[in-house]
Structures are given as C-alpha cells and as structure tokens.
A and B are shown apart, each in its own frame.
Chain A
Amino acid sequence: MRCEENQEMLEAYVEGELDEGAQARVASHLSTCGVCAGLQHQLERELNLFSLYLLDVNPSASAWDALRVKIDQEKAAEQASAITTTAFAAATTARPPLWAAFQRAFSSPSFALACSLLIVACAIVYVLSRAGGGTNVGGENDVARLVPATPAIVEKLAPPVEEKTARHQTATGATGATRRNSIAGASTTSARSEDDSQRVTSRRMRSGAVVSRSVTKRRTAAGPGDSRLEDGDPDEAVSDDVASGDALLHKAEQQYQAAIAKLKLDAARRRIEPDVLAQFEKSLVAVNSTIARTQRAVREHPGDLTAAQYMLAAYSKKVDVLIEMTRH
C-alpha cells in the first residue's frame, strides 16, 4: 500500500470505520511507514482531545428525581384530564350536542307535536293581538264602537265584500270629515268610495286586516244574503273575533295537554337518577302552579291577550321540562 492511499483511509481507520481487510492493510502499512504512523498519532490525539471535551459532562445525581417529579405531574394531569373527559362524555351522553339533540328531538313525535303547538300558540297570540282581545290596543276598537257605519251607506259602498268589511275598520280610523261626507249623500259616494277604498287599503296594510279577514270568512260561510254580516256591526265582529280567539286558545290548550300526557308517558319510561328526578318534579310543581294561576286569569278575563300569553308560556315551559326529562 502506498502512503497516499493509506492516508486517504487513515481517518476512517482511526475512527474504526474500515472493514477488517482494509483495517489490516492500513495497519500493515503503518507498521512500516513512520510518516503515516506520525499522521495516525496526530489524528488519534485529536480524537482523544475531542472525546475529553465531554468526559466530565454527566447528569446530576438528582436528575432522575427531578424527572420522576415531572412524570408524576404528567400522570396526575392525565388522570385529571381522563376524569374530565369521562365526565364530559357522560354529560354529552345525557345532554347530546346541539345537532344530536335536534335530530333526537325531531325523531320524537312528542317533540314535533310540541313544536306544532308552539306555532299554533303564536298564531293565537297574533290573532288576539290583532282582534284587540277586548283590550284597547291603539284604541281602534273603541273608535269602531263609537262610529258605526250606517247600513245604508254600507249598502251603497257595498260590493266588494273585502272593502265593505274593511270599511268597519276604516271607520275606526277615518276622520270625522270622511264620516260626515259619507252621511251627506249618495252623490259624492262613488268618489268618496274610491277615496275610502284607498284608505281601507292603507289601513289594512297597517292593521293586517285581521278582523276583516275574520268577518269575510264568516260572511263566506253564511252566504251573501246574510244581512247581519253585510251590515257588519263592528261590536259583533270584535266579539266574534274574541270568541274565535278563545276557541283557538282552548284548542291550543287541549293540544298542549295532549302533548304533555304523551311526554309524561315517555318520561315515565326513563330511568332518571333520583336526585335529578326530584329536581324535575320540583320544576313541574312550580310550572303546574303557574298553569293553574294563568288558567284562572284566562277564564276570568276572556280575550285577555296577556293572560293567554302567560298561560301558553306556562304550558310551553311544562313541555320543555318534560322533553328534558325524556332526554335523560
């Protein structure tokens, strides 16, 4: 082996990276070549020097203890996390996330029924609020009672039933001048009729024309010859509206009660922990008491919008509590 070849392999030799054959060849050359042996010595010294650099670097005696403390802390944190996760899982099982709850709720006929009841309740509240329900909402009904349209004028203004019935409403908001003009004579009627028609339209837009629709409906049912309706006594119309609202309210109440009965059956099938059940029962007692009070108020004040709202809200609350029970 020549020196040049040997020196190329010398570093690998010193580092122990050569295979046995190459190592033997280099060793053989080094035993006969002082120059290469000198280089080998220099490289080995260099390596020793570097290896000394780390010789006194050692972990401290307490390194394990410090690590163990950290490990124990991690374990404790993991356990706490596991407990939290378990509790969370249990909680989410009992009370599923929004979407799961939504899906589950709508798969239950009871809940669907409760939703439809809520819609009906909203409709009733809306009807009652438009009918005035005997309360002086805007004082329009009072005005209607004070300024009834005469049958004759109504006859003349008559045809379109919608407009005629709406005239009762128009009259409630019409100025005194309009009323006087109407009474003054038929010669100005057609012109005023157009004017009134516009006012009616405008008014209906404002009021929602709920009463008009209600009267129109009754008129359609009674037929065109029904003078009571054609004459359209506003007092009667309003009281009919209230009666209609009360009927709807009564119907809604019955539907709520049916839903509640169903939900009660569902809830009774659930195995609810005694302490949770006690809480539910406490809530139900309170809700039942509210329902009873609002029922009394509704009976004592028929057509009272506020009382009806409170009663329906109380029923709704009871449905909520029962739905909650069925989810346990």
Chain B
Amino acid sequence: MNSSEDSLAPARGGDEDAFRLIFEQNSRFIMRFIYGMVGEREQAAELMQETFLRAYRNINSFQPNTKLSTWLCAIAKNVVRESLRARRREHGNLQLDDDAVAELSDAERLLDELVLDEELRRVIHDALAELSEDKRLVFTLKILQQRSYEEIAEITGFSVAKLKSDVHRAKIEMRERIRPYL
C-alpha cells in the first residue's frame, strides 16, 4: 500500500492500520492548513484530531473521484470554521492567539530561528489574523501550501475567479505588512 487512496478500501472496512496510513500521509498538510487558519498550535492539533475523527466516521461517504487530501482539507475547513465561529461567540471578534508564538518551547524556538526569524513569524502571524476568514483560507491554501486553484475551489466551494481575486487582495495586504522585513 503506497498511497492514501490505496488505503481507502481497507479503511472503509474498518481497518485501523489502513486509516493510520491515511493519517500519516495527510496529517502534516492538514495540521499546517489548520495552523495557518487559527495560528495556535495546540488548537490546531485538537482541530486536526477532530478532522480525522470526522473523516473516520464518514469515510464511506468519500467520493472516489475526489482527491483524498482535498476531501480531508474540506473537512478541516469546516472544522476550523465551526471553531472560529464558536470562539467568536465566546470572545467577540477573534484575534489569533499571540501567546502561541510566545509560548514556543526552546526546541521549537531553535528550529524557528533556523527557518524564520521570530519577529518575522509574528508579523506574518498577525498579518494573517488581520485577513478576512475567506482571504485567510485561500491565502493559506494557495500561498502557504501551494495548492492549485482547482483543488482550492474543490475544498472551499468557491469559484476559481473568486479565489484568484481573494488571493490577489490577500497578497497585497500581506505584502504591505511584511514589506519592511523583506
């Protein structure tokens, strides 16, 4: 079994090892997508778990003509949106959790410094938080995760034209914020 798609049939039959393979091959992408949306690691981990739990429950409703990662990402998108709405109801207008960046462990900080300046990370984090939810969604998928417009259209249900427009506007907004660091 090499791909997630190959694991589908046994996973549908309740084979947990097959589902584990699906998880291992897609969890990073899903985790990063969710983190891009919520900006907080612990919450991203919880929402990723919820995403795969829903996928497990509904694996028999998966349509074979869809890419598995696309299907998972669509579930993740719904999970994230529900969570954001719930948080908005609880706390009013949502701001991405700054503490998530501040509370990185030492190991994470070290890694972070290697890949991205902490200050620049915070700037991107805050800039993402300022985007509207739709723009953040398409920006995360298109720019942060380099997915095709067709796939994003499938995940989000938006037209490619709207996606291009949203990505263009999101890039302008993000660029303005990070320009001093470029």
Contact = CB atoms under 8 A, between A and B. Distances in A.
Given A50-B124, A67-B52, A56 B115 contact: yes
B53 A70 contact: yes
Contacts of B31: 57-59, 63
B161 interface: no
A99 interface: no
Contact of B175 (A16, A46, A64, A71): A46
B178 A49 contact: yes
Contacts of B178: 46, 49
Interface in B11-45: 16, 19-20, 23-24, 27-28, 31-32, 35-36, 41, 44-45
Contact of A57 (B19, B44, B182): B44
Interface string B112-128: 10011000110011000
Interface stretch (B65-73, B81-89, B91-99, B144-152): B144-152
A60 B42 CA distance: 10
A56 B49 contact: no
B116 A63 contact: no
A315 B11 CA distance: 61
Contacts of A70: 49, 53
Given A59-B45, A63-B49, A49 B111 contact: no
A66 B20 CA distance: 12
A95 interface: no
B27 A54 contact: no
A54 B16 contact: no
Contacts of A58: 28, 31-32
A15 interface: yes
Contacts of A46: 175, 178, 182
A106 B57 CA distance: 44
B142 A56 contact: no
A198 to B, nearest CB: 76
Interface in A54-86: 54-60, 63-64, 66-68, 70-71, 74
Contacts of A63: 23, 27, 31, 45, 48-49
- Interface SS, A side: helix
Contact of B49 (A45, A57, A66): A66
A54 B121 CA distance: 10
B145 A54 contact: yes
B149 A17 contact: yes
B27 to A, nearest CB: 4
A63 B49 CA distance: 7
Closest 7 CB pairs of A and B: A54-B32, A59-B27, A52-B116, A57-B35, A59-B31, A57-B32, A56-B111
24 contacts: A15-B146, A46-B175, A47-B143, A49-B124, A49-B178, A49-B181, A50-B174, A54-B32, A54-B144, A55-B115, A55-B116, A56-B108, A56-B112, A57-B31, A59-B28, A59-B48, A63-B45, A64-B23, A64-B24, A67-B49, A68-B20, A70-B49, A71-B56, A74-B57
Interface of A: 11, 15-17, 42, 45-47, 49-60, 63-64, 66-68, 70-71, 74
Interface of B: 16, 19-20, 23-24, 27-28, 31-32, 35-36, 41, 44-45, 48-49, 52-53, 56-57, 108, 111-112, 115-116, 120-121, 124-125, 142-146, 148-149, 168, 171, 174-175, 178, 181-182
Given A53-B124, A58-B28, 4 more contacts: A17-B149, A50-B124, A63-B48, A67-B52
